[in-house]
Amino acid sequence: MNTVFVLLVVAGIAFAGFTDEGFIPAEPQHGHSTDDIILTSVGTWTIPGAKTPRGIDCSDSASELYITDYSIDMIGVYNYTGTLLDQIACPGEIPDVAGICQGSDYLLINDFGSDTDIFRYQSGTWSADFTNPASSPTGMDMDATGAIWEIEASTNTLYRFDATGILLNQWSLTEPPASASAMACTIFPINSTNVVMIGGMTWADFYFYEWDGTDLTFIGTHVTPQNSNKSYGAAWCSQRNTIFWVYKDGGTFVVCEFQCFITGVALERSTWGAIKATI
Give the pLDDT score at 131.
Answer: 95
Alpha helices in the chain (DSSP H): 272-277
Q: What's the residue count for the chain?
A: 279
Residue 82: inside a domain: yes
Residue 234: inside a domain: yes
DSSP output for 4-24: EEEEEEEEEB--STTS--S--
Q: How far is CA 171 from CA 122, 130, 140, 215, 219, in A?
A: 30, 21, 15, 10, 15
Give the pLDDT score at 264.
Answer: 60
- What is the rounded distance in angstroms from the CA atom of residue 173 to the CA atom of residue 54? 21
pLDDT in tens, the chain (279 residues): 333 333 433 333 333 445 554 434 445 454 457 778 878 788 899 999 889 999 999 998 899 999 999 999 999 999 999 999 999 999 999 999 999 999 999 999 999 887 899 999 999 999 999 999 999 999 999 999 999 999 999 999 999 999 999 999 999 999 999 877 999 999 998 767 899 999 999 999 999 999 999 999 999 999 998 989 999 999 999 998 889 999 999 999 999 987 777 766 544 443 334 334 333
Residue 262: inside a domain: no
Q: How far is CA 8 from CA 5, 33, 35, 75, 180, in A?
A: 10, 17, 18, 22, 26
Region of 12 please: left (phi>0), alpha (psi -120 to 50) or beta.
beta
Give the pLDDT score at 32.
Answer: 54
Burial label, 41 (beta-carbon count in 10 A; 0-12, 13-18, 19+): middle
Q: Please, which residues bridge with residue 95 across strands?
A: none
- Say which CATH number the domain at 60 has: 2.120.10.30
Residue 97 CA from chain centroid, whole number: 14
Residue 71: inside a domain: yes
CA atoms within 13 A on the CB side of 82: 19
pLDDT, tens only, 183-213: 999 999 876 789 999 999 999 999 999 999 9
Residue 201: inside a domain: yes
Give the pLDDT score at 268.
Answer: 41
- What is the rounded distance in angstroms from the CA atom of residue 222 to the CA atom of residue 235? 16
Give the pLDDT score at 34.
Answer: 78
Give the pLDDT score at 278.
Answer: 34
Q: What angle do CA 227, 9, 49 make, to 5 degrees?
A: 75
Give the pLDDT score at 65.
Answer: 96
Burial label, 43 (beta-carbon count in 10 A; 0-12, 13-18, 19+): exposed
Residue 40: inside a domain: yes
Give the pLDDT score at 40.
Answer: 79
Overall domain count for the chain: 1
Residue 24: inside a domain: no
Burial label, 142 (beta-carbon count in 10 A; 0-12, 13-18, 19+): buried
Q: What's the domain range around 220?
A: 9-19+30-248
Residue 224: inside a domain: yes
- What is the rounded distance in angstroms from the CA atom of residue 151 to the CA atom of residue 196? 11
Q: Contact 199/173 with Cβ under 8 angstroms?
A: no
Give the pLDDT score at 270.
Answer: 39
